[in-house]
Amino acid sequence: MQSRRIARELALLGMSQLTDDPKRTKKNSSIPPIETLLTEAVRTLSNEVKETLEAASSELILGNRQLLNSETRSGDLNSAQTTVKKAIDQVQMAINRLGAAVELPEFVQLAGQLDVQDYAGKIITQLIQHRDDIDQQLDSAMVGWNLKRLARVDRDILRIAVAEILYLAVDKRIAIDEAIEIAKRYSDEDGYRFINGVMRRVTDQIDNQKLEARSAPLKITQPVPDDIPTSGLPDER
């Protein structure tokens, strides 16, 4: 498990504890202690695993009941098959979450390292200082959608990736790949696919903006010497 990825996850969890209002965030811009971030990480993963397992159990019980009680009518069988398929999907999600929970000891150990804490702090600081610019960059890359309509976790994952590219000199390919990997842990399949598409449009925009900046003509202003009169007419006395 890479140190930088742990730092990004800490930043994501840290942002979830702050208000999503950029004006209020700037007024209270203190970064949560690392202990708070770790506690939130453990609590989030544990709750998700518990809730997913409970949902999977309920779906399996319902599917089994429908299979046992259904007659040979196609409607009942189709309903039972749909329910069982949904239950299987729920169990697979629970297995994935359990896999993430198994990594918690390594997560905790790496999160205690100074370089991990330092980078997480840098990400959160840039997000707080440049929230408006980051959100504007993301909104302009969305077609028929806007940032406020996304789930909070998806918004923050996108914000972290853009902040790394614009303000922490992270290669765009690395930022996109890391955003997708984090989305796979904290979002759903639709979420990480959407994040992938948005980030690729964002990086195209950033590349175009850099190209336009390079090709823009330079404006050179000549200083006015002190001995040249500022008025076109001489004094008449």
CB count, 10 Å around CB of 106? Answer: 11
Give the largest CA-CA distance in the chain. Answer: 115
- Note every long-range contact of 186-192, with CB atoms under 8 Å and residues 24 or more positions apart, other chains counting: 186/9, 186/12, 186/153, 186/157, 187/151, 187/153, 187/154, 187/157, 191/151, 191/153, 191/154
For residues 79 and 162, what is the distance between their CA atoms, to the nearest angstrom?
44
CATH 1.10.940.10 fits 130-208, yes or no: yes
- Per-residue pLDDT reduced to its tens digit, 79-89: 767 766 766 76
Compute the distance between CA of residue 202 and CA of residue 208 in angstroms, rounded to an integer.
Answer: 10
Through-space distance between the first and last CA atoms of the chain, rounded to whole angstroms: 84
Helix (H, G, I), strand (E, B) or coil at 63: helix
Residue 59 near residue 18, CB atoms below 8 Å:
no
Task: Write phi, then psi, for 218 (nearest 5 degrees).
Answer: -80, 135
HSE of 3 in the Cβ direction (CA atoms, 13 Å)? 9
For 178-204, write each residue's pLDDT tens digit: 999 999 888 888 888 999 999 999 999
pLDDT at 181: 93
Q: What per-residue string of b and e applies to 129-156 under the rule 16 or more CB within 10 Å gives b?
A: bbbeebbebbeebbeeeebeebeebbbb
pLDDT at 105: 62
Q: Where are the domains of the chain?
A: 1-113, 130-208
Do residues 179 and 161 lie in contact, with contact meaning Cβ atoms separated by under 8 Å? Answer: yes
Residues 145 and 164: their CA atoms lie apart, in Å, by 23
Q: In the chain, pLDDT over 90 holds for what percent of residues?
A: 27
State pLDDT tens for residues 90-107.
666 666 655 665 666 666
CA dist., res. 38 & res. 9, Å (int): 10
Give the confidence band of 73 by pLDDT, cuts at 50, 70, 90. Answer: very low
Cα 8 to Cα 156: distance, rounded to the nearest angstrom: 10
Rounded Cα gap, residues 40 and 32, in angstroms = 11
Please say whether the beta carbons of 154 and 187 come within 8 A: yes
Q: What is the pLDDT of residues 200-226, one digit of tens each?
A: 999 999 999 888 888 767 655 555 555
* 55: pLDDT strictly greater than 80: no
